[in-house]
Amino acid sequence: MSSEPISLDQALASFTERWSPRIVAAVNDYDVRVAKVEGEHVWHVHEHTDEFFLVLDGELHILLREPAGERTVTLPKGSVFTVPRGTEHKPYARVPSEILVFEPTGTLSVGDRHDEVPSHMDATTGHALTRRS
């Protein structure tokens, strides 16, 4: 991790892949990750941790399967939402969007249980941030 400030704009400009988070910082035992998103993620569950989302640009939708049934949470730019641990969810973005996610280091981007991971998505615990020259 860098001991210098990180520009989120520069971090996001350093990669083009969708659903492939980059680790921009660490806080105690948590990663701060940024990702470009578009299209659908997979239904998945994080059994032992909540998942925090902040929409930096665009709009993110999160389908939730809760005891009362399914619902969709819509997050415009500047909105935050936490998916509670154990809640099956499926993020998607109708337009290219950018998000920041806060979760424990080592948390897999497709959760502990998930649908089949399509080729346009990266099942990862986050990639190190690299800078373009």
- What pLDDT, in 10s, does the model give residues 72-89? 999 999 999 999 999 999
In a domain, 69, yes or no: yes
CATH code: domain of residue 66: 2.60.120.10
Total number of domains constituting the chain: 1
Q: Is 6 helix (H, G, I), strand (E, B) or coil?
A: coil
Element (H, E) at 8: helix 8-13
pLDDT in tens, 5-14: 999 999 999 9
Q: For residue 34, is pLDDT > 80?
A: yes
The whole-angstrom separation of Cα 30 and Cα 129 is: 15
In a domain, 124, yes or no: no
What range does the domain containing 107 cover? 8-113
In a domain, 87, yes or no: yes
In a domain, 120, yes or no: no
Q: Are 30 and 23 in contact (CB under 8 A)?
A: no
